[in-house]
Structure 1
Amino acid sequence: MSVHTLDRSKLAKGKIRALADEHGLRGEFTTFDARASQISQLSGERKTELDETELLLTALRRAGVVTGIDAVRLHADYLAR
């Protein structure tokens, strides 16, 4: 893993946290998320858990702070870890 990849991940994580703080958002696992997870498991998908940063990114998207495309880009950069 290169230093550049680690930098991209850290920058994305910092940007996600800063945006969430700026807009007073918290990363929370909602009732809707729990139901979606149950449906996914029933369809045979393996269980996955979002970490704190991914929950913040989801909150940013739901609040309309970032567009879908921006959310995907930030997530891709964050996952470059």
Structure 2
Amino acid sequence: LGKGTADFTFKAFANSNVTGSGNFDSQINTYAAANLAVTYDYDPKAVPEPSAAIGLGLVAGIGLMSQRRKNWLKASN
């Protein structure tokens, strides 16, 4: 994602030829071509590995279960 402009060179060639005295034949040949290459440089962001995300989820889950147990013990006293 990003904004910007791209400059590129475009070339076109045309050739015309007209011959004849009274009745004549006219012909125009045109050739055009262009090349464009885009290079996008970016800084990849660090993505945690799935095992790290699972580990963080386990720690958070254990913390929530511990808090629930503390609240349950307080309520039963």
- Normalised by the length of structure 1, the TM-score is 0.26
Between Structure 1 and Structure 2, the one with more strand by share is: 2
| Higher RCO (CA 8 Å, separation ≥ 6 residues) | 1
Between Structure 1 and Structure 2, the one with more helix by share is: 1
